Amino acid sequence: MLKRLFMVALLAIAPLAQAADQSNPYRLMNEAASKTFTRLKNEQVKIHQDPNYLRTVVREELLPYVQVKYAGALVLWRYYREATPAQRDAYFKAFQDYLEQAYGQALALYSNQTYQIAPEKPLGDATIVAIRVMIIDQGGRPPVRLDFQWRKNSVSGNWQAYDMIAEGVSMITTKQNEWASGQNADYPG
């Protein structure tokens, strides 16, 4: 359930692809949440008819504004440097496919939740910013606290999301641990 909420919340930052001003992560978060939840609400019939359509939504709306390679490299951790360029390319393609599938599954849970985004704080010279979003269920369940990690791209200067921490659990750290466990299984200690 927590993983699915992770994905639903990360999708709130999805529609950043057409944003004109990518210099402020708070504006991007607000715009993305508004567009994403509006699209989910308006396209429920299509989504129910074709659940794979959610992958399309993720690919079109979310992934252009997530630092997929940066997030993927963080997941690989120390193994990133050991991989050949061809292995990295194959991994990033698989990681992107995983994100499409995982976030698409999470979107399937959408049923008119609302959200509140923390007020904007001065950015100063920050290159990494956490923005808190509360997902509020109309059914009376407790709100879910999500902290989106945004990073200022050192090349483009644009802000992009790369991690989400749901109720204190980081998606990147979780995937790092899964990756490390799999690698350690191949190399007995």
Question: What's the pLDDT tens digit per position in 21-47?
Answer: 788 999 998 887 787 778 888 888 998
Q: Which residue has the tokens 């920050």?
A: 126
- Report the number of distinct structural domains present in the chain: 1
Mean pLDDT for 42-53 is 88
Given this model, what pLDDT does residue 59 score? 83
| Count, residues in the chain | 189
The answer to whether 14 and 61 have CB atoms below 8 angstroms apart is yes
User: Residue 119 pLDDT > 90, yes or no?
Assistant: yes
Give the C-alpha separation, 153 to 188, whole Å: 38
Domain that holds residue 66: 2-186
**How many other C-beta atoms can be found within 10 angstroms of the C-beta atom of residue 56?**
13
- Helices of type H across 121-170: none
Percentage of the chain lying above the pLDDT 90 cut: 31
CATH of the domain at 168: 3.10.450.710
Mean pLDDT for 5-25 is 55
Given this model, what pLDDT does residue 19 score? 45
Q: Which tokens is 115 given? A: 């959200």
**How many other C-beta atoms can be found within 10 angstroms of the C-beta atom of residue 114?**
12
The confidence band for 151, taking pLDDT boundaries of 50, 70 and 90, is very high
